[in-house]
Amino acid sequence: MRRFVCKRCGACCQGESTVSLTEEDVLNIANYLGLSVENFLKEYTIKKGENRLEMRVVNNHCIFFDEKENLCLIHPVKPKPCKDWPFPRAIWENEENFNIIKESCPALSEFSYKDLLSLNMFKSS
């Protein structure tokens, strides 16, 4: 069976928006960085609407994306949506969702939807 191997291209960290942060994410990341929650929120996050908190975007990528190394600077404590990507729950629902996500992930380009279903070890519960 083929396995998915991340190409470390950083495409998943690019864009005008990042993932939503939970209270647990905020606590974990602030602690990992050795910051108070207040300082972490001030320096690294942006509020979107009334209930959405995201990591800041710098140079069209997540503030924690290291452009030189194509790595996440908070990898051990990154939010669940980042850990799950490119296998969010929606990708398993149908082939259309798979194809949309596949367009944003070069490592998925060599897989078909049928291949994806054989990789069910990645499936989120």
Give the closest residue to 105 by CA, choosing from 91, 89, 125: 91
Contact 102, 110 (CB under 8 A): no
User: Would you list the domain boundaries of the chain?
Assistant: 11-122
Question: What torsion do the CA atoms of 47, 32, 5, 22 make, to the nearest 10 degrees?
Answer: -30
pLDDT at 124: 44
Taking the chain (125 residues) in consecutive chunks of 10 residues, what is each chunk's mean pLDDT? 77 84 96 98 93 92 93 94 80 82 84 77 44
CB atoms within 10 A of CB 3: 7
pLDDT at position 107 is: 83
Q: What local confidence, expressed as pLDDT, does residue 62 receive?
A: 94
Compute φ and ψ for 110, nearest 5 degrees: -90, 5
pLDDT at 40: 98
Return the pLDDT at 105.
87
Q: Which two tokens stand for residue 62?
A: 């997540």
